[in-house]
Structure 1
Amino acid sequence: MRLTILGGGGFRVPLVYRALLDDPGRAVSEVVLHDTDPRRVAVIAEVLARLAQGHPAPVPVRVADGLDDALEGAGFVFSAIRVGGTAGRIHDERIPLSEGVLGQETVGAGGVLYGLRTIPVALHIAERAAALAPGAWVINFTNPAGMVTEAMSQVLGDRVIGICDSPVGLVRRAARAAGADPAALADPGRAGYDYVGLNHLGWLRSLTLDGTELLPGLLADDAALGSFEEGRLFGGDWLRTLGALPNEYLHYYYFRRETLDSVRDTRETRGEFLDQQQGGFFERAAAAGGPDAVYALWERTRLEREETYMAHSREASGGWQRDSHDLEGGGYDRVALALMHAILGNSGTRLILNVRNGTTVPQLAPDAIVETVCEVGAQGARPLPCAPLREDQLGLMLQVKAVERATVEAALFKDRGAALRALALHPLVDSPAVAARILERAAKEA
């Protein structure tokens, strides 16, 4: 089976390929890379060549000649594009910050700006995939993952599934902190968890193993909470008040003032850091002199990237270093590989995914994309029923979903009013006048 990776020059593509090489199932017979930047995809192909060295049965890799060539005949398509590159991300962060509101890749005004730029390209990909590979499953990594998946689903229906590694990382860390073996989570006969929300806005509300609910004991134990990232980010008092473990990105909502203070006067936003780091990597890699040198450079750069992830939020919550097991990388690739195997093997595996709501959250439209626990088989991902949402959880979900849907509408129909509504109604944007100025400046700098 052919796997196509759109955004094949992306920095994290080697993690996917490494997982494929280590995969005992070996469902993939060929990897096809497509990217709009020939230099980047050539460097990443060299890293993949180094990973394949010495492997008894390496997966062949080919760089496609255009989008249609990449899509035709694909069984699965991983979409991991970055429209506008890191330069676009810098604008998405700096423009809101200049107006005194948070700028972040997927959250707040920055996420809306990124969505407006990305959705038209994602829709074109969906249309070409529907025409050239109607039987393919499209797995969307592209941020903002919720709204991009929602836009693509208008063309592909349930054959597009969004993934994110934040929820599964939270579940694993919570299980480890509660004294359970995270490997047991793969057995639905032993373990269960209730996670629901939107992409980068969700809550782990139950975690059971062998019939025992682990979450209340974990929330009561400050030492255990202090042993993992979300416990440090939010603090025991607030987590006990919530009665749940929030996705790490909810730190931007719950601790808006502290996070904004940590980033407002920063000399370097996350986008600027990545622009310099990755730009430097690709420049040095082009002159590194062979796959071994390029791979070593990539591994050093990857570790630095993981070490600095969400640095401003960690600074706002007291400052601490990430745990070693969170620096390994490989979150997205593990989720994607598990999803692929579950579809091919009709296994009924349970995964947290971005899918159409159906009746999972009755207050949302059936076609709205939610992030929740799904059962995956040959027909795709089916969201499982979940406990009713508390009013504060539901209220935040409804408001952010309105923002997402307005962003999709604005991108589809070039509708300035919908774009203004998306920005002004976001909980992290505190004024329609501010929203209008952000929109005007973004249009000028596009």
Structure 2
Amino acid sequence: MKLTILGGGGFRVPLVYGALLTDRGEGRVTDVVLHDLDAGRLQAVARVLAEQAAGLPDAPAVTATTDLDDALRGADFVFSAIRVGGLEGRADDERVALAEGVLGQETVGAGGIAYGLRTVPVAVDIARRVARLAPDAWLINFTNPAGLVTEAMSRHLGDRVIGICDSPVGLGRRIARVLGADPNQAWIDYVGLNHLGWVRGLRVAGRDELPRLLADPGLLGSFEEGKLFGVDWLRSLGAIPNEYLHYYYFNRETVRAYQQAEKTRGAFLAGQQARFYEEMRDPDAAALAAWDRTRAEREATYMAENRETAGAGDRDADDLSGGYEKVALALMRAIARDERATLILNVRNGATLAALDADAVIEVPCLVDANGAHPMSAAPLPGHAAGLVTAVKAVEREVLAAAESGSRATAVKAFALHPLVDSVNVARRLVEGYREVHPGLAYLR
């Protein structure tokens, strides 16, 4: 089976390949094609993968190419893990937003809109090429903003594109762990949009254990989200929010912390990864060791400003292992082998959430089999959550409309309607600021 990874020179690709190395089952991936626009990054990642596969004679064969069409032809699965504008673009997204006093995070608020506006046209082109060159392939979208990009691609690939994220998986794992339950045996009632969802229940052997967690301040305050949001707020919500909702619930504090930080997250990662890729220019450098060292630092500093604002301390060691590659492997196995699995994924809504139309991409538990991912029924969201979900989905739709039409006015509308952008004038300045720093947004007129 052939897997094509778009953004194959990206830093997290070795996580995916490492997961593939654990698969010995029938119908496993035997050929991996890495595609990237940067040949130097491709070569660096290929070296890491070669060291990962050392001593494993049946490891998937790896090839690399800068030709997109060649990479797609004959693919059974396509992973889209691109970053339009690179980490320098992410740093610019943060800088422009923070100068206006609003959040610049890559998937939330102004930064997420800017990233979406320059990513959607590229993602749509990829989707069209997949439909033409690999019509039977399943496209698994890693590209952020994951829900928005998955919805853009679904307009051309239908249900054959599925978005994934490790945030809900990590959240469910932490809740199960603190309750003393096996995460693999727990049913997680999670619903929302990507980076905008809530765990409303966690069932073990048919019993919802979440009320027990909410009733115990010691347990509730002992894990990442309890530290991040605070026990009182979680008990008020009666649910455990995805960590990214910290940007909404504690927005002023987070923006202030980001403004006061020595470097934004994007600037930090840009510098850190630049050092890694520069080190890989030395043919004698130990590629895998350098990658491991860089990844450990990356994970340990994740959402550092939010944790500092909340006084949450350092991340637990169990939360430093990633996870999205495991979701991807489980998803591929379920489809390729018709092994039924339940996974939290980004898929088209259908009739799952009455507040949204059928084509809206949502993030919910899905039953996966050879025919793809099927969203499972979900109880209605409470009013506060439904309002936030519908407001942000409306913004995503304006981003898609702006990307399709090239309308600057529609882009302004997308920014102005977002709950974390509090002024039409700020929205106008954001559009102009982003057009100045991103050549890829010259299409907005």
TM-score of the alignment, normalized to the shorter chain, above 0.5: yes
Structure 1 residue aligned with 2:442: none
CA distance in 2, matches of 1:385, 1:315: 37
- Would you say 1:278 and 2:273 are equivalent positions? yes
Amino acid at match of 2:202: L
CA distance in 1, matches of 2:257, 2:97: 15
Unaligned runs of 5+ in 1: 186-191
Of 384, 388, 411 in structure 2, the residue corresponding to residue 392 of structure 1 is 384
Paired residues of 2:107 and 2:115 also in contact (CA < 8 A):
yes
After superposition, what is the alpha-carbon deviation per residue over 1:323-353, rounded to whole angstroms, capped at 9, x for unaligned? 1111122x11000000001111222211000
Quickly say closer, same or farther: Cα 1:104–1:65, change in 2 above 3 A. closer
Amino acid at match of 2:370: A
Shift of 1:416: 1.3
Structure 1 residue aligned with 2:165: 164
Quickly say closer, same or farther: Cα 1:12–1:233, change in 2 above 3 A. same
Paired residues of 2:201 and 2:239 also in contact (CA < 8 A):
yes
- Would you say 1:345 and 2:337 are equivalent positions? yes
Quickly say closer, same or farther: Cα 1:351–1:240, change in 2 above 3 A. same
Structure 1 residue aligned with 2:298: 305
- Give the TM-score of the pair, scaled to structure 1: 0.97
After superposition, what is the alpha-carbon deviation per residue over 1:272-314, rounded to whole angstroms, capped at 9, x for unaligned? 0000000011001211515xx1111110000000000011110
Describe how 1:298-377 pairs up with structure 2 within 5 A. 298-329=291-322, 331-377=323-369
Paired residues of 2:151 and 2:361 also in contact (CA < 8 A):
yes
CA distance in 2, matches of 1:199, 1:65: 30
Amino acid at match of 2:210: L
- Would you say 1:238 and 2:233 are equivalent positions? yes
After superposition, what is the alpha-carbon deviation per residue over 1:392-418, rounded to whole angstroms, capped at 9, x for unaligned? 010000000001110011111101122
CA distance in 2, matches of 1:228, 1:70: 42
Paired residues of 2:352 and 2:376 also in contact (CA < 8 A):
yes
Of 184, 195, 205 in structure 2, the residue corresponding to residue 210 of structure 1 is 205
CA distance in 1, matches of 2:392, 2:184: 33
Q: How many pairs are equivalent?
A: 437
Describe how 1:72-221 pairs up with structure 2 within 5 A. 72-185=73-186, 192-221=187-216
Describe how 1:30-45 pairs up with structure 2 within 5 A. 30-45=31-46
CA distance in 1, matches of 2:408, 2:418: 16
CA distance in 2, matches of 1:266, 1:421: 30
3-state SS, counterpart of residue 283 of structure 1: helix
CA distance in 1, matches of 2:399, 2:316: 36
3-state SS, counterpart of residue 280 of structure 2: helix
Q: Which moved more, 1:399-408 or 1:221-230?
A: 221-230
CA distance in 2, matches of 1:261, 1:285: 36
3-state SS, counterpart of residue 286 of structure 1: coil
Structure 1 residue aligned with 2:373: 381
Structure 1 residue aligned with 2:424: 432
Paired residues of 2:224 and 2:312 also in contact (CA < 8 A):
no
- Would you say 1:5 and 2:39 are equivalent positions? no
- Give the TM-score of the pair, scaled to structure 2: 0.97
Unaligned runs of 5+ in 2: 439-445
Runs of 4+ in 1 over 3 A off after TM superposition: none
Sequence identity of aligned pairs in percent?
60
CA distance in 2, matches of 1:2, 1:324: 34
Structure 2 residue aligned with 1:19: 19
Amino acid at match of 1:322: R
Structure 1 residue aligned with 2:255: 260
Shift of 1:65: 4.5
Paired residues of 2:47 and 2:287 also in contact (CA < 8 A):
yes
Shift of 1:222: 2.0
Describe how 1:57-72 pairs up with structure 2 within 5 A. 57-72=58-73
C-alpha RMSD of matched pairs (Å): 1.0
- Would you say 1:416 and 2:411 are equivalent positions? no
3-state SS, counterpart of residue 368 of structure 2: strand
3-state SS, counterpart of residue 32 of structure 1: strand
CA distance in 2, matches of 1:146, 1:402: 13
Shift of 1:388: 1.1
CA distance in 1, matches of 2:77, 2:117: 26
